[in-house]
Amino acid sequence: MTKASTTLQFFMLLSKSEAVISRKLSGQGLGFGDLAVLYAIYRAPEGKIRRIDLAEAVGLTASGVTRLLVPLEKIGIIKREAHERDGRVSYALLTRAGKELLENSLSWTEMKCEELLPKNVAKNLDHASELLKSLTI
């Protein structure tokens, strides 16, 4: 059997890491993916974002974002706002409850991130972040 290249092994480890991170950083009533979506909405200009732009921001497809947003909308974490001139476009916004949940979840998740990442690796985060950014462009 052929040995996988170093590059392929790296991406396999990256995939496994994503699963571990998602599992260990889910809490406070939110999955880690949910947290990333809420944070992207929060950081958007005027606190609202088109679904297609949200998909781009978090690395999902437009239908993936829709599937993720529907339950959050049903429980009152986000709301939908129609575009004033284009009926085909809608924005996602955080509700007051969504903002509170995000704020509480960010604090908890920050603490868990500190626990998850070995101290000797933390000094390399800038380099690792640049590497990951290059993969998402």
| Nearest Cα to Cα of residue 41 among 1, 87, 77, 85 | 77
Q: Is residue 36 predicted with pLDDT exceeding 70?
A: yes
Q: Residue 2: its pLDDT value, please?
A: 82
Q: Residue 83: its pLDDT value, please?
A: 77
* CA 65/CA 50 separation, integer angstroms: 11
Q: Residue 90: its pLDDT value, please?
A: 86
Q: Residue 97: its pLDDT value, please?
A: 95
**Cβ contact 51:66 at 8 Å:** yes
Average confidence score pLDDT of the chain: 88
What is the pTM (predicted TM-score) of this model? 0.82
Class of 16-135 in CATH: mainly alpha
Q: Residue 137: its pLDDT value, please?
A: 65
**Token duo for residue 112:** 């868990």
Give the E-state strand segments of the chain in sequence order.
48-50, 78-82, 90-94
| Nearest Cα to Cα of residue 64 among 43, 37, 87 | 37
Q: Residue 50: its pLDDT value, please?
A: 93
Sign (positive/negative) of CA torsion 25, 26, 28, 33?
positive
Compute and round to an integer the Cα radius of gyration of the chain.
Answer: 17
pLDDT in tens, 49-90: 999 999 999 999 989 999 999 999 999 999 998 877 776 788
pLDDT in tens, 103-133: 999 989 988 888 888 777 777 788 888 888 8
DSSP strand pairing (48-50 vs 90-94): antiparallel
